[in-house]
Amino acid sequence: MLLLDVNVCLYAYRPNQSETARRVSSWLAPKLVGHERVAVSEPVLASVIRIATHPRIFETPSTPGDVLQFTESLVAAPAARLVRPGPDHWPLLTALVAEHRLRGNDVPDAGLAAHCLELGATLVTLDTGFARFGPLRRLNPLEDSS
């Protein structure tokens, strides 16, 4: 199972934004109709909405309706599965926060890492900062040759 990070979803949402966005979007499209399960979490989707509609991040921010339509289409894709944290999430999250002495904006990353560890999923991300979470399996779509 793959679990998508916010950056991957944002690039897929705005594929004309850059060459990186186009490549990520092209990588993700066949995965969403393939055989491997592609997990999407509600915190990731909420972050996509927050960032895509933020006027300080994008010169022309998206409308809530446009980004909600994208998130709904993502969740409705044949290989997609909306996932929620289970009973092991909190102990995993608190262990990561304590072990790495995380603060502030690093805590949501620990939450996503904990969710992946709980599900046995591979995190699809371009963010190299997730390497600090040792046992977490990561996949950078720009480096994937499959």
State yes or no: 88 annotated in a binding site.
Answer: no
Which amino acid belongs to residue 127?
D
136 three-state secondary structure: coil
127 three-state secondary structure: coil
State yes or no: 109 annotated in a binding site.
Answer: yes
Going by the annotation, the residues of the binding site for Mg(2+) are 5, 109
User: Annotated binding site, which residues?
Assistant: 5, 109
